[in-house]
C-alpha cells in the first residue's frame, strides 16, 4: 500500500524536468514542495484521462494505481510539510509545469484506443526515468529539511518500481 501512496510521485516529480530546472540547487524546500504538489496534481489528471480512455486493462489498472498513489502522495506530503514547517511556495517552475501538464494532457486526449495506451505508457516511462535522475542528482541533494529529504529518498525507490511496471506494460502493448 505504501508503494501506491508514493506511486504518484514519479509524475509529480517529473515536473522537475520541465521549464528551467537548471537552477534546481537554488530551489528552496518551499518551492520544491509546490513543484511536488503540482506534479502530483498533473499525474492525477493524466491518470483520470487514462482510466476513461485506455483500451488495455493493464493500462487502466496502472492509471488507477497512479491516481491513488498521487492522491496519497499529496496527503503524505502535507503531513511532511506540516511537521517540517514547509509552506509550499508558488514559483515559475511550478507555473510552467502547470501549463506544460495542461498542454500534454490536451495532446494525450486527442488519442484513442491503443494509440492512447501507447502514448500514456510511453509518457510514464519517460517521466519516471527523468524523475529518477533528477531526484538523485538534483532535488534530494538540494533539499535542506531532513524529513522532506527522507520522503524524497523513499519516493525514489517507488519511482523505480513504477518505471519497471510501466516498462513491463509497454512490452505487452502492440
pLDDT digits (tens, 9 = 90+) for 34-61: 988 887 888 899 999 999 999 999 999 9
Reply yes or no on whether the pLDDT at 20 is more than 80: no
* Whether the predicted model's global pTM rises above the 0.85 cut: no
* 94-106 tens-digit pLDDT: 898 789 889 989 9
Confidence of residue 27 (pLDDT cuts 50, 70, 90): confident
- Out of 1.20.1260, 3.40.50, 1.10.10, 3.30.70, select the CATH number for domain 2-172: 1.20.1260
What pLDDT sits at residue 170?
Answer: 97
What pLDDT sits at residue 142?
Answer: 84
* 3-state SS record for 82-142: HHHCCCCCCCHHHHHHHHHHHHHHHHHHCCCHHHHHHHHHHHHHHHHHHHHHHHHHHHHHH
The C-alpha R_g of the chain, in whole angstroms, comes to 15
What pLDDT sits at residue 24?
Answer: 57
What pLDDT sits at residue 9?
Answer: 46
Reply yes or no on whether the pLDDT at 87 is more than 70: yes
Amino acid at each position: 500500500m505504501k508503494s501506491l501512496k508514493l506511486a504518484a510521485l514519479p509524475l509529480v516529480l517529473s515536473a522537475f524536468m520541465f521549464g528551467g530546472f537548471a537552477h534546481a540547487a537554488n530551489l528552496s524546500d518551499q518551492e520544491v514542495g509546490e513543484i511536488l504538489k503540482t506534479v502530483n496534481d498533473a499525474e492525477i489528471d493524466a491518470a483520470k484521462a487514462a482510466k476513461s480512455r485506455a483500451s488495455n486493462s493493464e493500462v487502466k489498472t496502472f492509471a488507477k494505481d497512479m491516481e491513488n498513489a498521487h492522491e496519497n502522495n499529496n496527503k503524505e506530503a502535507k503531513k511532511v510539510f506540516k511537521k517540517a514547517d514547509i509552506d509550499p511556495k508558488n514559483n515559475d517552475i511550478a507555473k510552467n509545469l502547470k501549463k506544460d501538464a495542461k498542454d500534454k494532457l490536451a495532446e494525450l486526449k486527442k488519442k484513442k484506443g491503443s494509440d492512447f495506451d501507447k502514448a500514456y505508457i510511453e509518457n510514464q516511462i519517460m517521466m519516471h526515468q527523468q524523475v529518477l535522475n533528477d531526484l538523485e542528482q538534483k532535488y534530494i541533494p538540494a533539499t535542506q529539511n531532513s524529513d522532506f529529504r527522507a520522503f524524497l529518498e523513499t519516493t525514489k525507490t517507488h519511482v523505480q518500481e513504477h518505471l519497471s511496471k510501466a516498462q513491463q506494460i509497454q512490452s505487452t502493448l502492440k
